[in-house]
Amino acid sequence: MAEYLVTGGAGFIGSHLVHALAGAGRSVRVLDNLATGSWANLEAVADRIEWIEGDLRDGAAVEEAVRGVRYVLHQAALASVPRSVDDPLTSDAVNVGGTLRLLDAARRAGVKRLVFASSSSIYGDSPSLPKVESMPPDPLSPYALQKLAGETYFRLFHRLYGVETIALRYFNVFGPRQNPQSQYAAVIPLFITRLLAGERPIVYGDGEQTRDFSHVANVVEANLAALAAPAAALGGVYNVACGERISLNELLRVIGEELGVRPDPIYAAPRPGDVRHSLADIRAARAALGYAPSVGTREGLRRTIQSYRATVATGASAADGGPG
């Protein structure tokens, strides 16, 4: 019987959490429908995990997934602003309805603690920097609104039912296993893979928009810290980032330096729902969770570039498909 459940555990962030827990000798169960994740992300730990291929919208699969576990790291989502703009109904069914179904099943199963993967998109485009958890939310996309609803449900289940919950607001996570081939791929894997292929990267907007990028190792550390956090932290929401920002133009320059090329980007119209500037205040996470990011932006880019170079060299792909 597994002690930990990672929803979305075959995805980018979820698979890193599964590897960390399995590597530490923890018993881990994964729930994933492989809509955006890949079994290839878990092959290295396949003999040390329990696998359930299922959807958050499927009540029977969710109940099976939470049965007997003590801790849940809820990473499963349709995690894309543009996707939510294109198809708000489906993203809401997964990100809100699926989250509520998970919470209710976990409450009935006696799960001890749940950690929720939320998003900095909740802050919207407020000019105030850095973003502090006490700021009023101002979601600009269905995805951001859905993550705010998830946070609210997590807090409500703590207050109403006594379930131990913590929500983590991720700021622009990047690293190995992030899929560059998706229609909704994040900017760093797109930049790296286009430059590796000798293609011009696309920048939406003028490139002067800024982001607080965080390597996935920092997110793993934050989740593990949230699992061990004291009672005073429960029901809370905490920013997870590096506490530093960089423009997309500067990001391209740094990636180009690491690759030994001079980027010549194509500038396109800004995308609906994108925010102009983002920077996290991470003092609350430091104080309540003991969170301290260990991988800075430049070192994280180095590690990520090495990973993508190795993938290109070996011809590896992130094909979907479950075990067997």
Catalytic residues: 143
Residue with tokens 């989740």: 223
d(CA 260, CA 85): 36
CA atoms within 13 A on the CB side of 213: 23
Token couple for 16: 């890193």
CA separation for the pair 73, 111 (Å, rounded)? 11
Tell me, letter by letter, the H, E, C secondary structure of the chain: CCCEEEECCCCHHHHHHHHHHHHCCCCEEEEECCCCCCHHHHHHHHHHEEEEECCCCCHHHHHHHHCCCCEEEECCCCCCHHHHHHCHHHHHHHHHHHHHHHHHHHHHHCCCEEEEEEEHHHHCCCCCCCECCCCCCCCCCHHHHHHHHHHHHHHHHHHHHCCEEEEEEECCEECCCCCCCCCCCCHHHHHHHHHHCCCCCEEECCCCCEECCEEHHHHHHHHHHHHCCCHHHCCCEEEECCCCCEEHHHHHHHHHHHHCCCCCCEEECCCCCCCCECCECCHHHHHHHCCCCCCCHHHHHHHHHHHHHHHHHHCCCCCCCCCC
Output phi, psi for 197, to 5 deg: -90, 5
Report the C-alpha gap between 316 and 314 in whole angstroms.
Answer: 5
